[in-house]
């Protein structure tokens, strides 16, 4: 119960932060990515603030032996830069630039009941599903 409540509160705070910062507005994101046009640097300050808070909080939290509601830390251990990682980052960046959404803000934007975030999230889920099928087929052939 404590863990579910904590997840809800953290998710709610994250959603509020995305909304207040403008990350749920595709035109703001595209404006930030438009370096040689009408560049909007405001999201840079959002990133700097988020990185600063994360840097300090991570240092404090990782001093604990275990997380509050888990028996172990779930921190990625792989450090390899693989073709799959590079191609995935490339596809993510292209999608972010074209649509003005990345997954978190798109899910939050579903609350607006606008067509664009709905299409984005449906397409994202379809892409995840297709990836899983293709990845399983490729693993079987190896």
Question: How do residues 33-83 score in pLDDT, each as one tens digit?
Answer: 888 888 889 888 888 998 999 999 999 998 999 887 788 888 888 889 988
What are the residue ranges spanned by the domains of the chain? 2-141
Give me the pLDDT at residue 7, please: 85
Provide the phi-psi class of 22: left if phi over 0, else alpha when psi is between -120 and 50, else beta: left
Q: CB count, 10 Å around CB of 72? A: 8
Give me the pLDDT at residue 142, please: 55
Residues 39 and 31 sit within 8 Å (Cβ to Cβ):
yes
The whole-model pTM stands at: 0.73
Give me the pLDDT at residue 121, please: 93
Query: What average pLDDT does this structure show over 98-126?
Result: 91
Tokens 């509601």 belong to residue: 69
Give me the pLDDT at residue 97, please: 84
Percent of the chain with pLDDT over 90: 28
Q: How confident is the model at residue 98 (pLDDT cuts 50, 70, 90)?
A: confident
């Amino acid at each position: 119960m404590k863990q579910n409540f904590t997840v809800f509160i953290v998710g709610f705070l994250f959603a509020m932060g995305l909304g207040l910062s403008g990350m749920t507005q595709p035109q703001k994101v595209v404006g930030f990515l438009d370096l040689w046009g009408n560049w909007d640097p405001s999201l840079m300050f959002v990133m700097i603030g988020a990185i600063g808070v994360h840097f300090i909080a991570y240092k404090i939290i990782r001093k604990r032996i275990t997380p509050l509601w888990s028996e172990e830390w779930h921190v990625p251990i792989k450090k390899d830069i693989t073709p799959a990682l590079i191609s995935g980052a490339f596809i993510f960046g292209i999608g972010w630039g074209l649509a003005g959404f990345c997954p978190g803000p798109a899910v939050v934007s579903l609350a607006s009941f606008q067509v664009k975030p709905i299409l984005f999230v449906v397409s994202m889920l379809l892409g995840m599903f297709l990836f899983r099928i293709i990845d399983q087929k490729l693993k079987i052939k190896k």
